[in-house]
Amino acid sequence: MPSDIRNDAPPTVPAAPEVHPGIAPVEGVSARRVPIWTDPRPGLAFAGSGLERAAQLRGDAQAQARMLADPGTQVLPLWRGRPLFAPEDAAPGPAGAGLATVAPDHPALRGAGPAPIFLALSEGAAIFAQDISAWQPDGPLPEGAAFFDPSEQRHPDLPAGTVFAELRGRMMTLDPRAAEIAATARALITWHGSHGFCAACGAASVVEQAGWQRKCPACGAQHFPRTDPVVIMLITRGNRVLLGRSPGWPEGMYSCLAGFMEPGETLEAAVRREVAEETGVAVGPVGFLASQPWPFPASLMLGARGQALSEEITVDPVEIEDALWVSRERLLGVFAGSDPVIRAPRSGAIAGWMLGQWLADRLD
């Protein structure tokens, strides 16, 4: 049961489906056909907004052309994986609050390269994403090796006050709709950037389904956007929780243990294996808590909780640099920013969200 649904307050089904207002260029197919349930999880970035992805329009070339000819259609430009952010005081557009979008015929998109990707229908408009990574900014370039790069790029042709910036640093400035659109766009564009050639035969592949598929003209293989599942776990033993840090993390950063799932493995087994590999701690019962798309570049974080069966920690120095048990009392200090060693968790990431839910006793 999701942690935000309490036993004393059963979930209520919306009285009527939220019907999409529809857009003229795609009459008859733009209305939502079923009500879309969402899981509001304050503090968890990319938790979903019930976005109408309208997959039925992806293979419809006529609908795609009509939408791209409609001045109401909105295109989110991305530059090297960085979405275009709106000025703080900008009114929210159809793509939600915090992102800046432009019309399909905007000069900044001309000659950008690949065709725009159709993302969704939102607030009466079609939403596309366009990679304009070929643009060369005058200002500072991002540092590829940095854990987080705070630089911003301003495009002279794009609206005043808009900037390209790392999504990781601004994800909590977006409302849920904008966050879902930004995560989807970034993940798809990054996937295209690294999957230009067929994994089966090596020939150059071509984009299909409005950006949601690649097809190999040589051997016919179809390739779909990747999402890589990662388990991230809140491991507790009584009043304490297990935290660790990886080599190369910023000083004082500790988090829940995490690791990629392996083929042929269940979520529960992945939780137990990762914790055992990294710390030597044995884990018993495991339960699912919540998931979070994490487009850096293509992860799906699967938040789980597990009960430790043992306490002794034996760190595997190849996997992590340190691990320790942290009491509830100490974790309160961590969240308050008063712990001398451990800094407060990053806002928006699922580790901090799970730890906060545990501190607030909202997990049972």
Q: Which is nearer to Zn ion, 38 or 222 (CB)?
A: 222
Q: CB under 5 A: which stretch of 213-221, 229-237, 246-254, 313-321 binds Zn ion?
A: 213-221
Helix/strand/coil for 244: strand
Q: Least Å distance between CB 228 and Zn ion?
A: 22
Q: Which is nearer to Zn ion, 26 or 198 (CB)?
A: 198
Q: Which token pair is 159?
A: 């609206």
Q: Least Å distance between CB 199 and Zn ion?
A: 8
Among 51, 125, 216, 351, binds Zn ion (CB under 5 A): 216
Q: Which is nearer to Zn ion, 65 or 206 (CB)?
A: 206
Among 146, 219, 332, 341, binds Zn ion (CB under 5 A): 219
Q: Which is nearer to Zn ion, 146 or 219 (CB)?
A: 219
DSSP alpha helix (H) spans, the chain: 61-69, 167-170, 176-194, 267-279, 328-336, 350-359
Spatial contact of 288 and 303, defined as CB atoms under 8 Å apart: yes
Q: Which is nearer to Zn ion, 221 or 282 (CB)?
A: 221
Site for Zn ion in 2-31 (CB under 5 A): none
Among 198, 210, 308, 342, binds Zn ion (CB under 5 A): 198
- Spatial distance between the Cα atoms of 307 and 56, rounded to a whole number of angstroms: 43
Rg (CA), the chain: 22
Amino acid (one-letter) located at 165: A
- Spatial distance between the Cα atoms of 85 and 152, rounded to a whole number of angstroms: 10
Amino acid (one-letter) located at 158: L
Residue 235 makes contact with Zn ion by CB under 5 A: no
Q: Which is nearer to Zn ion, 63 or 216 (CB)?
A: 216
Q: CB under 5 A: which stretch of 167-175, 186-194, 214-222, 303-311 binds Zn ion?
A: 214-222
Among 5, 201, 206, 309, binds Zn ion (CB under 5 A): 201
Helix/strand/coil for 210: helix
Residue 214 makes contact with Zn ion by CB under 5 A: no
Residue 221 makes contact with Zn ion by CB under 5 A: yes
- Find all residues with CB under 8 Å of 275, minimum gap 6, and list them: 233, 235, 242, 257, 281, 282, 283, 306, 308
Residue 200 makes contact with Zn ion by CB under 5 A: yes
- Find all residues with CB under 8 Å of 85, minimum gap 6, and list them: 98, 99, 100, 162, 163, 164, 165, 170, 173
Q: CB under 5 A: which stretch of 131-139, 167-175, 203-211, 302-310 binds Zn ion?
A: 203-211
- Spatial distance between the Cα atoms of 283 and 311, rounded to a whole number of angstroms: 10
Count Cβ atoms below 10 Å from residue 212 Cβ, excluding itself.
18
Residue 1 makes contact with Zn ion by CB under 5 A: no
Q: Which is nearer to Zn ion, 146 or 199 (CB)?
A: 199
Count residues contacting Zn ion (CB under 5 A)? 8
Residue 283 makes contact with Zn ion by CB under 5 A: no
Question: From residue 119, how far is each of 37, 212, 337 by CA, in Å?
Answer: 19, 9, 39
User: By the criterion CB under 5 A, which residues form the site for Zn ion?
Assistant: 198, 200-201, 203, 216, 218-219, 221
